[in-house]
Structure 1
Amino acid sequence: MRGCGAILLLGLGLLIAPAAARADAAPIATRPALAVAGQAQPFTEDDLLLLEVSAGGRLLAEALPAYAAPAGVYLPLGELARLLEIAVAVDPNRARAEGWVLSEERRFRLDLLAAEAEAAGRGWSLAPEDAVLAQGEIWVRPDRLADWLPLKLKADVRSLTLAIEALEPLPFQARLEREARRQRLEHGGRSAARAETFVPTPYVAFSPPAVDVTVSAAREAENMRTRYDLRLAGDLAWAGLQAFVTGDGNGGLTQARVLLERKDPERRMALVPGISRVSLGDTYTPSLPLGPRSAGGRGLSLTTEDFQEIGAFDQIDLRGDLERDWEVELYVDDVLRGSRKEEGAGEYAFEDVPLMVGLNVIRLVFYGPQGERREEVRRLHVAGDAVRQGEWLVRFGAVDEGASVIAFHDDPQGEGDHLLDVGDRPRRLAGPRGLRAVGHLAYGVAPGASLSAGLASFHDLVGRTHTQAGVGAGASVLGFAAQANLAADDGGGTAASLGVAGRIGRVALVARHAEFSGGFLDEGGGYMRVLEPSRRSSTLSVDTTLKLGRRPLPVGLRVSRDEFAGGDAHLLATGRASTSLGRFLLSGAVRYEREDKAARGDGRVSGLITASGLIDDHWRVRATAAWDQDAVATVSLDRRWGEANALRLGLSHRWGDHAATMLQASHVWRLRNLDLSLFGGWSGADGETRIGVQLATALVFDGERYRRAPPGAAAGGAMRVHAFLDADGDGRWRPGEAPAAGLGVRGGRRVAETDAEGRALITGLGDGARAAVQIDASAVEDPYVTTPPPRLVFVPRPGRVAEAAFPLQQTGEVVIEVALHQDGEPPRPLSAVRLQVVDAAGAVAAEGRTAFDGALVVGGLRPGDYRLRIDPEQAATLGLTLNAAPAIHIPREGGFVGEVAAAVRLGATSILADTAPEPPQPALGQDRAGSAPERRPHASRSLGARLLRWLGFSLAG
């Protein structure tokens, strides 16, 4: 069969050779080759292979010519040296290869006429089958190369691969490391794994606000109840404004919040450098390790902390807006940590969320009353000490606790205890408390070590004022983070705590113990009584992942014990676990709580099990069973028809003294920019029915006019994308430049497409440290139109629309054919030559390496004039030089511009030998390896045509 294949390839090569080969490119059969050929060569053209070459998991070449013969596989020494960037060059006129390996002291010489080799001061005699001169190249067996070079080579003829293992760091590996370091510097120390464009959204004096409007009316028994929710968000006075109000049909205001906030995750805020967030209005104070915890009210707060990294002992509170009648569940590393339901305040809060040292994936799952479901994913890194050496960490807040900027008559009280409260303790009751001011300052004195101080003044639940001050120190010891704190108040009370956090194998733990005396009030312990001060408090959190067969089982345990001044004690232990079973996610929580008093002890056990997932491709089920003093079970079924229709059916039952059964049903029509819902319910306790209708929509100012948008537009950031064909290459739209319609834009809850003007508006992008929009440019059919990075990132702000240009550019493509010219010999293709295409300003627009046939396809070149050069480092190392610097011209309309011939001479001193290599600057759509973006291949440049041309070129002689 191999003979038949060879005959077929031979015939095809002979057919295409006259058309494909250059007139002066006859194959080489050199006089030295004839001189050393005392016997027949060990291989013929029938033995040709093309090997895929890799080193250390990195692809170096897709097609390295090699020959398989009875004596073994033969590899081209010159091309292999250029691939590995080893300073060894082949001189076919003298049947010799010379140079050095890794250092100039380690000389290398291979002389076929003398049948000897020398490497690193050691000599070898050559057998006739060890190395062969053919086609202007020296072909060597891998086992002999391994004797001379610090390499292990494994050529697999069956899989057509060549695996290279470097026994010492090779030059190409060092170059890749330098380029990686340079890229990290260019990207501010971050990895550039994904190409993306950052879209700045500066604050302005005023931007027309985005508006969310929800209006509902429901009939219950004989009463008609109406309610409205109004949310506005935009820029005001160079800050972000958020306002939320809700009221009833009688015109009464039942809830209101107003917040002016300015944030900058990079901490380069123009007003106060180093501040990452400043809030004015309805905001929250920070907490301290001993003493006050976070509380809300009207006032001011600011911080310099990193949005994506906290210390192991820092309290993390998750808060956000929650739409009417929505629920939210909190998962940390797929373990259910808490659940909240909107009860009139328009927001949710998870306080004191326990996290592990390392990366924590926080997932918030939102459930709407009509079957809506969405997720928000945040990644938060917990370090031993979040304060880096030489940096300051500042947190400050001062509020009129419990009071809002806008007063309202119906002040909802706190929810009280909940089985899945993250902190597993009662919340503070709402209502005015007076001034609460808290400040915290920390400084990194050494790597992993910091000093801190705090000061606070606040009122307790009966109105008494407490003034407290504290100091602390944190350090990393043997892979564990440790923190010690001391505090005292103005009443003679004192407190001390010690905490340790870290990992033991696959187990992550956080332990903390605190001692109190003199009536010191600590709001951040495991359990808080209203009046009685604590004596001591201990907490332990343990998280790990077990194996349930092949299925991972994340589990978590949190135990806290508090002793009070009167002698009572309180123990609380909560265990949680989650796992997947087929299409379902199962989560469970068990809590044991015990009160030990002087006379007796009282303990109780409660628990919860949830399951959610898909029954089939249409129905989603969510079931919950919880038991405490009473037991409750709920089941809901959701089904969607496309993007426009959603149905929800719900059933719940409560056992115990207030037994009741509830049935619910709702249907929502999601129109383009409007959600219309019909809902109804029946209660078995009193036999009453409830039926109602709800309308929800939004308005967003897109820079030119207000446009209707899906609900939720004012709760998060938005982006308007403008895609166009950038004719002049300046990245900005000019009159007359054609729009790019039909491009998919993915972000938020829905996928949009650019319209006839090339514009698309995406809302609902959240309010985190970063958000991203992904552009799908598959609708662009022109292979010579290149796109910028498809991922657009920005810092989202509620109600603010980021303007993002997406300039497509017409590009050109050229084929560069490199041939080696030597005196007395016809030119021949030269592979593994690193070429650079340089623009008029001297910047590297594209670079790459010639293939087995000496050709390099360079695409993604913007219109303009370029010149070609050999990579200065390779030119200096191997003594390669171009006879001239060929010019390349890409016309304004782009497209394939033809072939460019480049003549290279070997063994002479390079004119670029003294030129320091410039850092490569890849062109748009061109990566650092020189690979062109995916496009429709030109017929004359396809791999098959090039291979046949190379075969014909080789066989013609």
Structure 2
Amino acid sequence: MASIAPFMAGGAAPAQAQDDAMFDRLFGSAPASERAGQAADGLALPALFADGKLIADAIALHDLGAQGGACVAVLPLLEALEVAHEQASAGAHIALTLPEPRRTVTIPAAALLPSPSGDCLTLADAPAHLPLSITHDAVSQRLLIAPTAALPVLMRLAREERHSRLRPETTRPAFALLARPEAAVQLWSADLGAAIATTPQGRQVSANLLASGALLGMAGRVSLGLTNEGRITPGFTLSEARDTPDLLGPLGARSIALGDIATPAQPLIADALSGRGLVISSRAPWRADLVDTITLTGPLPQGWEAELWHEERLIAVTRQPDAAGQWQFGDIPVRIGENRWLVRLYGPNGEVSEEVFTRLVGTEMNAENEVGYSFGVVDGGTPLLGQTLAGEPAGPTAFASIDWGMASEVTARLDLRAGKQGQPAVALGLNGALGGGLWALTGARDRAGGFGGAVRLARRIGAQDVTIDLARHGRDDGPGLAPLVREFAQVMSLAGQGRIGLGRLSLPWQARVQSGSLRRGGDRHVAAARLVVPMPNWQANFALGAVQEGSAPWQGTAAMGLTARRGEWRLRSGVTASDRGGWRIDGANLSAARRVAGGNLALDLDWQADSGKLGGGVTYAKTFGPLGLSASAGREGAGWRAGVGLTLGLWRGPQRWRTAPAGIARSGAIMAEMFVDEDGDGVRGADEAGVEGGRFIVGAALRREETAADGTVLIGGIAPGPDVDIETQMSSLTDFTLRPERAGDRLALRPGEIRHVPVALRPTSSIEVQVLLVAGDRRTPRSGVTVVLHDTQGREAARARTDFDGYALFDGLSFGTYQAEAAGQSTAALAVSRDNPDAQTRLLIPAATGS
């Protein structure tokens, strides 16, 4: 809560009695801590944030007393969120128009409270009338928006960010890009882990290592897993990716990966593969894909769990890495327009990490005559070192893809793939836009010499997407192909997805009808639908499906899932059922996690109807500084199990190795060092003090990490790849005379890289000038007068306009000598230095000039 006190300038007239009465009527005359009432209490002006983005610098928030909570000025809130609204008069109901899908909802007049800032809506009532929830962080004075549906301001910001990302060469960077440190071999960070467990199969001991560094200018990642059974699981990858096409000289590549890699799918002739190999591409990995389903991947350390979220709903969960040690979510359907997924990683010791993936579909056709490519080799299912983990490895394969913008709305794509078995496979396709819809046409010759083809038509109708697929596959059904190609000789499907507007709610839905001829003979027909109900603190998923093979009767399946946050608890549950001669429950599961005594407690229960057995367990994890300790016990099918685990993270600082919680080697991090640069050389000297309590803005997020007494802070969890900006939160500096020598820095991090960023603060000075109008023996402050500050060379250093008391303040000035000038009059020389950083003066102007 912020108190309000009037600023009284010297010599100013006192406030009128009626003004005092008005102030008291609106805000009360008692101290804020003693007042209570309907939105007539203490006023705070917190900043507004949504999805980590600053939406507004200040929104009026009124305290309703100890039992009433707080209420936010609703009209400024709607304007900040860019939500279209209409209100006939103050106190009347407010009609809102929400997008995606377009619908109208109403905030009733009964929900609005009067306040000095206009109509006010309590934070507790916001989820009942708006597609969002609001929490107030009183410590940092921030209002945090958690949207449950699309908000116009976030759509606009995402659109601008997407345009900048898709066309980085046309966007002028806000800050200078920092050069990468030059080193032939360098180790950045490492995660260490060890575990011992007792299971029905016997005692198991394991250890693992994940390390990141640089080798010959590329980012390197090494993983190693060991067990007491003698099994060794190594992994190694070298990669480099950037926004500019300057890799490999004339090839103009943007990304290269070598070692344990993942390759993209190729229509009709190949599925996405993981294994040892090499891939070179003219597109950065974070660039958008063409019209198709996509595969998302990333590193998954041992014992970690990955959740895939899309539009505020949980899509999938995986705990098993692929052959390259990656989590992988494949065959993800994309919507027309922007697609945004959030992958949440949960570690065995309570670690939480998030990574956002954005794909734009429909407008990412190549520009006319723009050419993109990717090519390489991969031994599908086989890691670079060690034995294969795949049951049916795809084997060595060479592949290439090239796409060309034939016209502004038509892109051609050629795919080639050749392995040790069969003939080279080739696919030729066209992707385009026509009449507000999208289309894709592909023809292919497979490894067995068979011919196939596919047609896709997609169109957005309102906020709903409809897709029609027709495909006839060739003769090849070997490993390395997409499951649909291996299973069906021909198939057709009709699918839709979108959002259903239901008042303030926007309910995501998906539906699919598929019919095809199986390669083994017979037909299969499938119908499935899913509906999600997203609420501020919970969401429900409902799925219903049915399958028919040949002339057999339809077999139905159903599932219901629920994820929720209840206080400190994070809950996830599910129930599955099937119709096999009558509906019955097949199984159920429940997971719950929360923080307890500084650690994380997780409970898991599962029940299988066929066996009638109940399984599950409990895990408790806690970090002691950088050391993570976990213990678990539970029951599985054959008996009881118990175990303990230990983790530790290491990273290389400017002078020595330091410790950190495990997970440091997976993402990027910045080690910022803030200090007072007394000599102005930008390099910290032995006698230059660090600045404690400094905070930073990274990307669009206000980070809470603060510099320690030595001026250093580790800011982790930064997505590697795209450029990210870092700048100082000026409000965190207690010494207002300090200013950063650079407004900010831009840098591109690689996985596991810890970049040292010196933040030099230079001492500055200030000069305050009061402009007075002279008329006889009267001197009157003049507002709105332009004051120009000149240096000793006569050059303009700064300019400002005087306020209502005639003052103009120049701060952030370098030390030196200045002279102020206004209305043809000048001051004497004003010298400011480290010992005398502030100067004040008066500038007198005659009446004829001042008027």
TM above 0.5, yes or no, is yes
Q: 1:13 to 1:318 in 2, by over 3 A?
A: closer
Unmatched tracts of structure 1, length 5 or more: 1-8, 17-58, 60-157, 161-179, 414-428, 871-880, 908-952
What are the residue-to-residue correspondences of 1:771-850 with 2, within 5 Å?
Answer: 780-787=733-740, 794-817=747-770, 831-832=783-784, 846-850=798-802
Moved more, 243-252 or 584-593: 584-593
Aligned residue in 1 for 2:343: 364
CA offset digits 1:531-566 (Å, max 9, x no partner): xx623x334442222234422212223444433567
Q: 1:904 to 1:708 in 2, by over 3 A?
A: farther
Q: Provide the rounded CA distance (Å) in 1 between the counterparts of 2:500 and 2:785.
A: 52
* 2:321–2:328 Cα contact (<8 Å) kept: no
Aligned residue in 2 for 1:609: 560
* 2:696–2:702 Cα contact (<8 Å) kept: no
Q: 1:632 to 1:703 in 2, by over 3 A?
A: farther
Residue 230 of structure 1, CA deviation: 1.4
SS at match of 1:760: strand
* 1:625–1:634 Cα contact (<8 Å) kept: yes
SS at match of 1:465: coil
Residue 241 of structure 1, CA deviation: 0.9
Aligned residue in 2 for 1:505: 462
Q: Provide the rounded CA distance (Å) in 2 between the counterparts of 1:896 and 1:636.
A: 61
* 2:815–2:834 Cα contact (<8 Å) kept: yes
* Amino acid aligned to 1:624: G
1:250 counterpart = 2:232: no
Q: Provide the rounded CA distance (Å) in 2 between the counterparts of 1:805 and 1:368.
A: 31
1:440 counterpart = 2:401: yes
1:673 alignment partner, one of 614, 621, 626? 626
* Amino acid aligned to 2:463: R
What are the residue-to-residue correspondences of 1:805-954 with 2, within 5 Å?
Answer: 805-817=758-770, 831-832=783-784, 846-864=798-816, 882=824, 889-892=831-834, 895-899=837-841, 901=843
Q: Provide the rounded CA distance (Å) in 2 between the counterparts of 1:256 and 1:841.
A: 66
SS at match of 1:317: strand
Residue 236 of structure 1, CA deviation: 0.9
Aligned residue in 2 for 1:276: 254
Q: 1:244 to 1:199 in 2, by over 3 A?
A: same
Q: Which has the larger radius of gyration?
A: 1
SS at match of 1:208: strand
* Amino acid aligned to 1:755: A
SS at match of 1:323: coil
In angstroms, what is the RMSD of aligned CA positions?
4.3
* Amino acid aligned to 1:901: L
1:334 alignment partner, one of 306, 312, 318? 312
Aligned residue in 2 for 1:620: 570
Aligned residue in 1 for 2:541: 587
* 1:527–1:570 Cα contact (<8 Å) kept: no
* 1:482–1:500 Cα contact (<8 Å) kept: yes
Q: 1:334 to 1:602 in 2, by over 3 A?
A: farther
* Amino acid aligned to 1:637: A
Aligned residue in 1 for 2:189: 210
SS at match of 2:288: strand
Residue 430 of structure 1, CA deviation: 4.2
* Amino acid aligned to 1:296: S
Q: 1:735 to 1:382 in 2, by over 3 A?
A: farther
Q: 1:370 to 1:807 in 2, by over 3 A?
A: closer
Residue 390 of structure 1, CA deviation: 4.0
Q: Provide the rounded CA distance (Å) in 2 between the counterparts of 1:222 and 1:761.
A: 42
What are the residue-to-residue correspondences of 1:4-23 with 2, within 5 Å?
Answer: 13=12
1:229 counterpart = 2:229: no
Aligned residue in 2 for 1:514: 471
Aligned residue in 1 for 2:267: 289
SS at match of 1:407: coil
Aligned residue in 1 for 2:417: 456
SS at match of 2:195: strand
Moved more, 837-846 or 229-238: 837-846
**Amino-acid identity (%):** 23
What are the residue-to-residue correspondences of 1:257-656 with 2, within 5 Å?
Answer: 257-269=235-247, 274-342=252-320, 346-369=325-348, 372-408=351-387, 411-413=388-390, 429-431=391-393, 433-458=394-419, 464-489=421-446, 492-516=449-473, 527-529=484-486, 534-535=489-490, 537-564=491-518, 568-595=522-549, 597=550, 600-601=551-552, 603-616=554-567, 618-627=568-577, 631-641=586-596, 644-656=598-610
Say which structure, 1 or 2, has more relative contact order (CA 8 Å, 6+ apart).
1
Residue 797 of structure 1, CA deviation: 1.9
* Amino acid aligned to 2:318: R
1:714 alignment partner, one of 658, 665, 679? 665
SS at match of 2:620: strand
Q: 1:211 to 1:854 in 2, by over 3 A?
A: same
Residue 398 of structure 1, CA deviation: 1.0
Residue 197 of structure 1, CA deviation: 7.2
CA offset digits 1:274-325 (Å, max 9, x no partner): 3221001111333223322221221110112244442441442111122323
Length, aligned pairs only = 693
* 2:392–2:479 Cα contact (<8 Å) kept: no
SS at match of 1:715: coil
* 1:205–1:237 Cα contact (<8 Å) kept: yes
* 1:311–1:384 Cα contact (<8 Å) kept: no
SS at match of 1:635: strand
Aligned residue in 2 for 1:201: 180
Q: 1:248 to 1:845 in 2, by over 3 A?
A: farther
* 2:446–2:476 Cα contact (<8 Å) kept: no
Aligned residue in 1 for 2:92: none
Q: Provide the rounded CA distance (Å) in 2 between the counterparts of 1:381 and 1:760.
A: 35
Moved more, 465-474 or 709-718: 465-474
Q: 1:589 to 1:775 in 2, by over 3 A?
A: farther
Aligned residue in 2 for 1:939: none
Q: Provide the rounded CA distance (Å) in 1 between the counterparts of 2:411 and 2:763.
A: 54
Q: 1:813 to 1:400 in 2, by over 3 A?
A: same
Residue 376 of structure 1, CA deviation: 2.6
Q: 1:315 to 1:300 in 2, by over 3 A?
A: farther
Q: 1:799 to 1:329 in 2, by over 3 A?
A: closer
* 1:320–1:349 Cα contact (<8 Å) kept: yes
Q: 1:858 to 1:510 in 2, by over 3 A?
A: farther
* 1:285–1:396 Cα contact (<8 Å) kept: no
SS at match of 2:665: helix
Q: Provide the rounded CA distance (Å) in 2 between the counterparts of 1:494 and 1:573.
A: 28
Residue 734 of structure 1, CA deviation: 3.4
Q: 1:339 to 1:637 in 2, by over 3 A?
A: closer
* 2:238–2:258 Cα contact (<8 Å) kept: yes
1:699 counterpart = 2:650: yes
CA offset digits 1:683-728 (Å, max 9, x no partner): 4x54x22121111112211132222221112222222111101224
SS at match of 1:711: coil
Aligned residue in 2 for 1:91: none
CA offset digits 1:357-396 (Å, max 9, x no partner): 2222211123445655443333333343342334321111
SS at match of 2:186: coil
* 2:516–2:524 Cα contact (<8 Å) kept: yes
Unmatched tracts of structure 2, length 5 or more: 1-7, 16-55, 57-115, 119-159
Q: Provide the rounded CA distance (Å) in 1 between the counterparts of 2:432 and 2:673.
A: 50
Q: 1:580 to 1:785 in 2, by over 3 A?
A: same
What are the residue-to-residue correspondences of 1:125-140 with 2, within 5 Å?
Answer: none
Residue 456 of structure 1, CA deviation: 1.7
SS at match of 1:352: strand
* Amino acid aligned to 2:571: V
SS at match of 1:704: coil
Q: Provide the rounded CA distance (Å) in 2 between the counterparts of 1:250 and 1:401.
A: 26
* 2:460–2:466 Cα contact (<8 Å) kept: yes
